[in-house]
Amino acid sequence: MRISRSNEKRVVVAAGDPRGIGPEVILKALKEPAINKSKITVVGNFRVFKNIAKILRMNMPPACAGFEFIDIDDLSHGSFKLGARDAICGKAAIDYVMYALAYVESVKMNRTSLVTGPINK
């Protein structure tokens, strides 16, 4: 985990349920011009985002100075069914929130916000 002590404003986004709407909403939001000017860190499963981007016929946002993706590769490589409830995906959603919270606490930035994608309770 990278540690930064700057005063830059950063938004850390926990992806939410990997089989839910969160990854799609995050990908679409990252295309917005106002978001592109922000410092964004997404915590989730990169493979899930790549699959969703392919379904949406979108490209993954490029790694750049303002965007980073923390890949939590916690899902099996089995079938992937959107919208289905799954205990593994529920645990993954909680893991993303916990990792994102730890990241926010570790970066010691005064201007860091934590946002979560939808979580199936």
Find, among 77, 68, 78, 9, the residue nearest to 44 by Cα.
68
Q: Write the pLDDT tens digit of every residue in 93-106.
A: 999 999 999 999 88
pLDDT per residue over 25-84, tens digit each?
Answer: 999 888 887 776 678 999 999 999 999 999 999 888 776 667 889 999 877 655 557 777
Q: What's the pLDDT score for residue 110?
A: 67
| The pLDDT of residue 5 is above 90 | no
- What's the predicted TM-score (pTM) here? 0.83
Helix (H) or strand (E) holding 121: none
Domain ranges (residues) in the chain = 10-116
